[in-house]
């Protein structure tokens, strides 16, 4: 299960919102045995915001010119598992 937020732009505070994810499994018990990963996505992701989110263990996504999505995390990135 991947939880993500998609916005027109992001701020570092958006990454901090994911600390609330442990409530996810309480609210949706059918996912209690699932791994929960998270990500932020925006049309524009500033470098400092992307690195902040990455350090928090979040996937960082942005829109591509053809309407798809691109993962901005650096090689070796390890996502945080929220339990």
pLDDT in tens, 6-17: 555 566 776 677
* Rounded Cα distance, 50 and 46, in Å: 6
* Rounded Cα distance, 12 and 29, in Å: 29
pTM (two decimals): 0.77
* Rounded Cα distance, 5 and 17, in Å: 10
Burial class (CB in 10 A: 0-12, 13-18, 19+), 18: buried
Average pLDDT, the chain: 81
pLDDT in tens, 63-76: 888 988 899 999 99
């Amino acid at each position: 299960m991947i939880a993500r937020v998609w916005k027109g732009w992001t701020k570092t505070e958006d990454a901090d919102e994911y600390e609330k994810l442990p409530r996810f499994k309480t609210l949706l018990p059918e996912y209690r045995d699932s791994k929960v990963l998270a990500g932020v996505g925006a049309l524009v992701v500033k470098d400092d915001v992307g690195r902040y989110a990455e350090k928090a263990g979040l996937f960082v996504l942005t829109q591509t010119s053809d309407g798809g999505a691109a993962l901005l995390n650096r090689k070796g990135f390890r996502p945080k598992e929220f339990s």
